[in-house]
Amino acid sequence: MVHGWPRIIFGIAAASSVSVMLAPGALAQDDDGPDTDDQIVITGRLVVPEGETVQTAVILNGNATIEGAVAETLVVFNGRTEIIGTVGEDVIVFNGAVVLRSGSRVGGDVVSRQAPLIEDGATVGGSIDDLETRWDHWNVPFVGRLVWWLAYSVSTLVLGLALLVLARGLDPASVRSLRDRLGGTIGFGLLLVILLPIVAVLMFLTVVGIPLGLFLLLALALVYTTGYVVGALAIGRLFVKESSSRYVAFLAGWGALRLFALIPVIGGIAWLAGTVLGLGTLWVAARPGVSVDRSPAIAV
């Protein structure tokens, strides 16, 4: 089965975008709202109490206990899974024990690395599959892209926050690049994106330039990624007022770019736009006229 992957992916993306601003725990479940929302947990515990229903449930790290109902798919990446109530479709557990208590019901398949413990009276509507065996039947290229998306999202988040702490002039530079030097920012950013790999390749034409060309090629990933996270800050300033925290602005832009990255073709265009804008913003930051706060305190 595995019908809920688009919903699962969107849920993880949304959770990643706001997880740094929230305490660990359930992110999507609203105590005052309807009990048909998705429940996404980064780390902690995922619990669906008896009498409550969620649409899709996902936990990245921690134990899952389903006493109520999950209408669609339950996915556990790392942790123990105990089902007392019902899961409408599949139960997918990448790492951890799986226990189906008597009276529980799974409408689809149970897929896990460890053999599940199924008590008498528990019902499984589909098959019980080993994760490694079932992996061959899934869209492996798609899963690979998802893993890369998650890894790149975390890496750019960490790099962006580190830059905000160490280079506090980037925020006023991003505002200035959009307000006063948008044309120059885009032009210089495009120039760097196009010329850097060309210069690196040309260096291979001379023996003495080969080491430098090699180092430049290896550095392009870091250069472009740095431009990407700075571009996320600049894009965030399109939606977040200048008086607001630079961290909020960065998270807004970063979250938007990472959501666009899930869409084929559009994701590539968004990456290029963010990188070009970010490299251009670095050019603005290196020029005179950007006010840099040199106080030791870290403003949030």
Q: Is the pLDDT of residue 192 over 60?
A: yes
First to last CA, the chain: 45
Site of tokens 């990407």: 228
Smallest CA-to-CA distance from 261 within 111, 170, 175, 156 is with 156
What pLDDT shows up at residue 10?
A: 43
- How many other C-beta atoms lie within 10 A of the C-beta of residue 159? 16
**Hey, what long-range contacts does 165-168 have (CB within 8 A, 24 or more apart)?**
165/298, 167/285, 168/246, 168/292, 168/293, 168/294, 168/299
Domains of the chain, by residue range, sit at 5-135, 140-286
| pLDDT tier for residue 241 given thresholds of 50, 70 and 90 | confident
- Mean pLDDT across 102-123: 92
What pTM was computed for the model? 0.50
Q: How many contiguous H segments (helices) and E segments (strands) does the chain have?
A: 8, 14
pLDDT at residue 138 greater than cutoff 70: no
Confidence class of residue 287 from pLDDT cuts 50, 70 and 90?
A: low
- Look at residue 8 and tell me whether its pLDDT is greater than 70: no
Structural contact between residues 258 and 13, judged by C-beta atoms closer than 8 angstroms: yes
At 221 the pLDDT is 87
The most confident of 86-100, 156-170, 246-260, 273-287, by mean pLDDT: 86-100
Q: How far is 262 from 252, CA to CA, in rounded Å? A: 16
| pLDDT for the residue numbered 31 | 41
Q: Is the pLDDT of residue 109 over 50?
A: yes
State yes or no: pLDDT of 169 exceeds 80.
no
Look at residue 36 and tell me whether its pLDDT is greater than 60: no
Q: List the structure tokens of 231.
A: 């571009």
Question: What are the tokens at 29?
Answer: 């479940």
CA 129/CA 137 separation, integer angstroms = 11
Asked if the model's pLDDT at residue 300 lies above 70, the reply is no
Q: Is the pLDDT of residue 168 over 50?
A: yes
